[in-house]
Chain A
Amino acid sequence: MPPDTSAWVGVRERRKDRGLTQAQLAQLAGVSRQTIISIERGDYAPSVYLALRIAAQLDSTVEELFHLEGEPS
């Protein structure tokens, strides 16, 4: 579902730091590459479970990867 609030998504930066392609992260998280692209662009807000899976694959936390605009990171 498209997010209805502004959000900062740090998935792309973290993914690049880990040396992963979108396709690799998609496979690890069990979703399509297009879904990872949509998440990184902020066009799609993942479910809690998907956000947790992505965070686990990037050795990060959901709070580090996703937060609302205006909130402290």
Chain B
Amino acid sequence: MTRSSAMRAAYALTGLNDPSMGDERERDVILRSYSFALVLAMFLGFLASILLAVVGLGLWSIVPIFVVGIPSWAAIWFAAKEGVDLVALLDKASKSRTRLMWAGTFGFILLWGGALSFHILMGNPLVDIRIDIGDDAGLGPVLGGGIGAVVGLVAAIVALKARSRKTQRQLAAADDD
């Protein structure tokens, strides 16, 4: 299959043909897993925007929406390059799914817009947590943040390893040869 240089780069970036994608079934599961993760990230992005608006970050609260929007636009672009119109396929969504999507969209607009409007009209956010970084933050917050990041990374690696061992035990138990 002849691909453009942009698509070759996309494939290389994603590692779609890398051995870590497993066999065809494993690749299918992996891609569905990431699809679920993308949708979850979008909802978390909406939630983050609302929370940031609630605590008074104003228009900066829209940043999470742009951040989670980038993967969505990338997916639309990638699919189009492979001959699939994701936007047109949305017309085939079930009525219940369409209703849920519109309810979520309007709900977000109401909550986010409401929080921003409150801040603008009242002069203070819904929840004023009064973050004051200041000019002389010093080494303390930087050091604390660094230590926290390392601890978090180690904890994530340990949790992933434990999850992998559990999955391997479950897979071994499933063998009914």
Contacts and interface: CB of A to CB of B under 8 A. Distances in A.
Partners in one complex: yes
Interface of A: 1, 21-23, 30-35, 37-38, 44, 46-47, 50
Interface residues on B, range: 10 to 19
B40 to A, nearest CB: 21
A47 B22 CA distance: 15
B85 interface: no
Interface in B119-177: 171, 174-177
B25 A31 contact: yes
B176 A32 contact: no
B174 A37 contact: yes
Contacts of B22: 32
Interface string B20-38: 0011111010000000000
A1 B174 CA distance: 19
A1 B160 CA distance: 26
26 contacts: A1-B28, A21-B177, A22-B175, A22-B177, A23-B177, A30-B23, A31-B23, A31-B24, A31-B25, A32-B22, A32-B23, A32-B25, A32-B26, A33-B175, A34-B25, A34-B26, A34-B171, A35-B24, A35-B25, A35-B26, A37-B176, A44-B25, A46-B24, A46-B25, A50-B23, A50-B24
Contacts of B175: 22, 33, 37
Nearest to A50: B24
B94 to A, nearest CB: 15
Give 9 closest A-B pairs by Cβ, nearest first: A31-B23, A35-B25, A22-B177, A44-B25, A21-B177, A35-B23, A32-B23, A34-B171, A47-B24
Contacts of A32: 22-23, 25-26
